[in-house]
Amino acid sequence: MIKNSFRAIFLGLAVTVVPTVLWAVMAAINLKQTPSVPWAVAAMGIVLWIYWRCVSAGQARRLSSMGSPTPAVWRASLLAGGVAIASVWALFASLRGLLHIQAPSDDMSRIPITTVIAAVLMGAAVAAITEEVGFRGFMQQGLKRVHGPKIAIGVTALLFTLAHLTHGAAILPFLPFFFAAGLIYGLLTYFTGSILPAMTLHFIGDVMLFATRYAAARQGVAATAGAISIGPAIDFVILAVLSVIAFRFLARQKNGTLPPTSLFATLMSISI
């Protein structure tokens, strides 16, 4: 049991770390030496294509839950996951004044906006693909076979959060939100039997996060300090309740206790 657990964790980390480090090195060299030509984006696109072909083949595909859900489950998963991730963003916005977030120290003013956009999109793609394949695919699936879904989702979300410590001390205020996102992605993978919905939402979320960080670095936004924002806090409560309702529906879709129907009718039937 312990051997299988460590194997799942090691495999998940390896599948994630190798391409992520490769992208980080290439992007750093590109932005420092030739920022006007985003060659690293093109090169990493080829690497990701090869990577996807490898993890989509044979045994790797089965181990990493690469199958695509039915259209009804796709819709339900994007609704549930999207609302849940939105609630995490709302919670972050409500607490931002208390988190003492440091402004990025990198000078982005010399980098062309086209290179920034390309780097943001590729960085989000690398993170979404490799982290979902590694953490929710190989790691969570391996741990689930040994310990069951609850422990698998929790441990994977924790390790997913700790892996972000490689970004340095500035990432510390974000860790609770990464853990919440990890739980959401894990639940999506469990209920849908596929990493694809979580991967889709992960990509969208990281585009927003990276774009915000790049904008802050370019404009020199100061560190935040203040109090809780009431508006976003209310949004968080509303979105959190809606996400619970949506995940209930997704779970019932998985168990076959609710036939596919329109999203509006589904929410109405669950909430009544």
Domain ranges of the chain: 2-271
Angle between helices 230-255 and 263-271 in degrees, nearest 10: 100
pLDDT greater than 60 at residue 15: yes
Output 116 or 110, whichever has higher pLDDT: 116
pLDDT at 271: 43
Where residue 66 falls among pLDDT bands split at 50, 70, 90? confident
Question: Residue 169, exposed/middle/buried by CB under 10 A (0-12, 13-18, 19+)?
Answer: exposed
pLDDT confidence band for 161 (50 / 70 / 90): very high
Q: Average per-residue pLDDT in the chain?
A: 86
In the predicted model, what is the mean pLDDT of residues 263-269? 46
Q: 41 pLDDT band (50/70/90 cuts)? A: very high
Q: Is 270 a residue whose pLDDT tops 50? A: no
Neighbours of 261 (CB within 10 A): 12
pLDDT value at position 209? 84
Q: Could you give phi then psi for residue 26, rounded to 5 degrees?
A: -65, -45
pTM above 0.75, yes or no: yes
Whole-angstrom distance, CA of residue 39 vs CA of residue 31: 10
Closest CA to 192 of 79, 23, 109: 79
What amino acid is encoded at 104 in this protein?
A: P
Q: In b/e form, how buried is each residue of 42-67, taking b as 16+ CB within 10 angstroms? A: ebbeeebeebeeebeeeebeebbbbe
Distances (CA, A) of 265 to 32, 112, 184, 217, 254: 53, 47, 23, 44, 18
Q: What pLDDT score does 8 carry?
A: 92
Q: What is the pLDDT of residue 63?
A: 64
Contacts 24+ apart (CB under 8 A), 225-229: 225/97, 225/100, 226/96, 226/97, 226/98, 227/97, 227/98, 228/94, 228/95, 228/97, 228/98, 229/93, 229/94, 229/95, 229/96, 229/97
Whole-number pLDDT of residue 191: 94
What pLDDT does residue 202 have?
97
160 or 3: which leads in pLDDT = 160
- pLDDT at residue 272, rounded to an integer: 38
φ, ψ for residue 224 (rounded to 5)? -95, 150
